[in-house]
Chains A and B, each alone.
Chain A
């Protein structure tokens, strides 16, 4: 049934690295979204953000779980709780503090657009059955995240003067962290060679098109693309914020490694 035994070690290593990158993005952003529980501007939005956070943490869990099978680790918790910030490969966009509601909305929109395009494209190349199944499944849920965040961008941008000011500010502030989405390196090139991933930079034009269309509809300005872009997160060089997030997320499990619910 399983194809685990048939995957050569060199390919397995690359696959694990890709799984961790995808999972880290989703765990960290999911954690940031979960910080809204009980704090969102209205009850419906509180539920929506908590639901999306749950989805993302669920996505990370499935990807980590598969990596754990490949690496013969006990379970997905190994990756979430027992790695340090330098080991995490999420892009900085996902780890920035949650900010206000406009910032949260803008980040979710920029990330979900990327996620949608990435997943849509990689399901067409991945031959490895289990990996493809996981990605296909998550793709259906990402549509909900994209639609929801896009509608809020429209509402805030084309809303009051204040909401417009705030969402434009959020988009501008986030822009320098979007470059990392389209970076590629040796690992991803290898993965593309194994039909486990795509050449991510090809998504950039499409992403710009989607984002610009929505921003225009929301009467917002698309920031200049030729500005300084933050880099280094995929190599483990993060902003100061990730360490603090992990400290909060990991401390219980590290203090009581064998704790369970029973």
Chain B
């Protein structure tokens, strides 16, 4: 299908909402805050600005490819996807709706990143309580700050005796 540009910016945003994170398929790249900007230039060329989440995240390449694929599938031809470092991605950009979806998927959503905290103190002694996404219990403990992907830490719930993952703040 070939569509005629120009296309409305809002149309492109809604296409991008169909692109999901390969590791967390319940979230799309817009609600995760990965897509920073969509611009339509004076020759109707589309520029999509994305920002990397975690530097070591192998999913970023996959996500960029998916965005290309989506734009092509929708019939856009004159476009480019640019990685932008001007603003540094933070978990605070994740929408509340996205956080709710994460929880329902079984991953405890990131808390708000506290400003100026003493980062050297371990998460354990910071007494940050991460509620269990399964049973909402506060009786949970940190197992490891590193998990199955770059963005997650491992926790264990002492109430329902289930391990779960926590989306780390950055």
Question: Which positions in A face B, CB cutoff 8 Å?
Answer: 1, 44-45, 47-48, 51-59, 61-62, 129-130, 133-134, 136-138, 140-141, 143-144, 146-148, 150-151
Which of B's residues lie within 8 Å of A, judged by CB? 52, 54-58, 82, 84-89, 119-120, 122, 143-148, 150, 154, 168, 170
CB-defined contacts of B146 to chain A, threshold 8 Å: 44, 47-48, 51-52, 148
Q: Of all chain B residues, which has the CB nearest A131?
A: B85
Q: Which 4 A-B pairs have the closest CB atoms?
A: A133-B85, A54-B56, A58-B55, A44-B144
- A129 CA to B86 CA in the complex, in Å? 7
Q: Are B119 and A54 in touch, CB under 8 angstroms?
A: no
Which residues of chain A are within 8 angstroms of B55 by Cβ–Cβ distance? 55, 58-59, 61-62, 137-138, 141
Main secondary structure on B side of the interface with A: loop
What's the Cα separation between A49 and B38 when bound, in Å? Answer: 37
Q: Which residue of B lies closest to A46 (CB)?
A: B146
Give Cα A134 to B146, complex, Å.
22
* CB neighbours of B56 from chain A (8 A): 51, 53-58, 141
The CA of A56 and the CA of B150, in the complex, are separated in Å by 12
Q: Are B144 and A47 in contact (CB under 8 A)?
A: yes
A48 and B144 form a contact (CB under 8 A): yes
Contact of A134 with B85 in the complex, beta carbons under 8 Å: yes
A148 to B122, CA, bound (A): 8
What chain A residues lie within 8 Å of B148 (beta carbons)? 47
Q: Do A55 and B150 contact each other (CB < 8 Å), given the known contacts A133-B85, A133-B86? A: yes
